[in-house]
Amino acid sequence: MNVRSLRRLWPQKVRTRLTLIYAAPFLVAGLVVFGLALFVLERVILPTSPAAPLFPAGKLSGPVAQICQSYTMTSTRLCEQAYAAYYAGTVAGMQSQQNTLAKLLTFWALGLGVLTVASGGLGWYISGRLLRPVREITATARRASEQHLGERLALAGPRDELRELADTFDDMLERLDAAFAAQRRFVANASHELRTPLTMMRTAIDVTLAKPSLTASQLTDMAVRVRRSIDKAESMIEALLTIAISDQGKLSTEFTDLATLAEDAIDAAAPEIERLNLKVDAQLDPAEITGDPQLLERMVSNLVDNSVRHNEPGGWIRLRTGHSPVAAYLQIANSGPFVPDDAVPSLFEPFRRMEARTGTRDGVGLGLSIARSVVTAHHATVTANSQPDGGLDISVLIPHHSAAGPRPLP
């Protein structure tokens, strides 16, 4: 029989294996004690029977015969009778002891067997009690699905390893439930938002084609509206792809300077800054980090675009970059409408716009969502605070990911 055959004979259920593990040491210990007791009884406590009979042919022989022959005739006969009675009593006593020992061994073996079975049953019961949380975890895991993630184990009892396992499983279900809920909400919002530009394009085309006589100006106006809707849909799709790429965590590792990215973002937003007559206060100190340059560029661009888009004519933008021994930072603040403190966290959710406070629907509502996704992918932190005079103050802290630390700064 090879090792594979022996493995097949070994029980597959953990409860059965635990029962055998409980019962086997008891059986082995009982056998050891049984063997030691038997050895002591036979070799130490109980006397042994004579090696040879004292009366091989009805006559006394050996040293005993010499002793008895030294007496007179009558005394010799009495001596022989005495030794004969002694021998008979010794033999009878030894037979009785052997019978008693045999009975003792029988009862001992029965008791050991009964206690072994009882220890196995007790082990079966105890292992069942110990494995009950595992069965609950298994049943909950089987019932868990995308539509059924609200159930929790909430295991009570001592805080042992099984309690920690159950709590960890509950935490995992809670994170999965939140992730699936966010995904469903994001998909619903994305489908709704993508449907809007498509509806606008279809409406513009249908209204234009329904006119009896088309003019070049009408066709041009339709083309402009369709182009505007296409640009909005393209921007939204690009933003969704950026979030998907950053959420996957597959990032390239290149040295990138946040100051350079911030300067490029300000240059790109220069026409809108001039249109709103915004005052830009930029202090861009070197802030080199190791990360994905494309995602970081999109994050900085979205933050700058957000500060410009949700500003007010004649307002201001303050931009700071720099570094410390462990991290680089980017801070951007802007004037604008007042944002309540309880509304600040929701601005980082997908498709949450400021239209209730600014009255505009420019943008796709994914700027801050992209920033948060990129920050999370780089194991960084982003904080946003509402300013008393209006606007937001957003800070991004990105740790240096290079094993040797950042490059020496000029």
Question: Can you point out the beta strands (E) in 146-291?
Answer: 254-257, 279-284, 288-291
Q: Identical fold at 148-248 and 252-399? A: no
Q: Cβ contacts of residue 112 below 8 Å, gap of 6+?
A: 27, 30, 31, 34
**Which is more confidently placed, 401 or 185?**
185
Note the pLDDT tens digit of each residue in 61-91.
Answer: 555 555 555 555 455 566 666 666 666 766 6
Note the pLDDT tens digit of each residue in 117-139.
Answer: 888 888 888 888 777 777 777 77
Note the pLDDT tens digit of each residue in 267-309.
Answer: 988 989 999 999 999 999 999 888 888 888 888 888 898 889 8
Options 3.40.1410.10, 3.30.70.1710, 3.30.565.10, 3.40.50.300; which CATH number does 252-399 get? 3.30.565.10
Q: Is the pLDDT of residue 406 over 50?
A: no
* Span 247-273, average pLDDT: 84
Contact at 8 Å (CB) between 122 and 25?
A: no
pTM above 0.85, yes or no: no
**Residue 237: C-alpha distances to residues 86, 197, 203 (Å):** 113, 12, 21
266: helix, coil or strand? helix
177: helix, coil or strand? helix
Q: Report the alpha-carbon distance of residue 197 to residue 368 in Å, rounded.
A: 21
Cβ count within 10 A of residue 193: 18
Q: Cβ contacts of residue 247 below 8 Å, gap of 6+?
A: 373, 376, 377
Q: Fold for domain 148-248?
A: Helix Hairpins (1.10.287)
Confidence of residue 174 (pLDDT cuts 50, 70, 90): confident
Q: Report the alpha-carbon distance of residue 314 to residue 183 in Å, rounded.
A: 39
Q: Report the alpha-carbon distance of residue 262 to residue 284 in Å, rounded.
A: 8
**Residue 116: C-alpha distances to residues 15, 50, 120 (Å):** 17, 39, 6
Q: Report the alpha-carbon distance of residue 278 to residue 300 in Å, rounded.
A: 18
Place of tokens 């059986």: 27
Backbone φ and ψ for 160, nearest 5 degrees, come out as -100, -165
Note the pLDDT tens digit of each residue in 16-65.
Answer: 877 888 788 888 888 888 788 777 776 666 655 454 444 444 455 555 55
Place of tokens 């932190």: 381
Report DSSP letters for 131-145, one per residue.
HHHHHHHHHHHHH-B
Q: What per-residue confidence (pLDDT) applies to 343?
A: 82
Contact at 8 Å (CB) between 246 and 376?
A: yes
Contact at 8 Å (CB) between 289 and 367?
A: no
Cβ count within 10 A of residue 117: 12
Q: Report the alpha-carbon distance of residue 5 to residue 8 in Å, rounded.
A: 5
Q: With CA atoms as reference, report the closest residue to 400 among 384, 379, 372.
A: 379
Q: Report the alpha-carbon distance of residue 344 to residue 227 in Å, rounded.
A: 33
Place of tokens 């489908």: 191
Give 170's DSSP letter: H
Place of tokens 């590792």: 253
Going from N- to C-terminal start, the domains of the chain cover 3-143, 148-248, 252-399
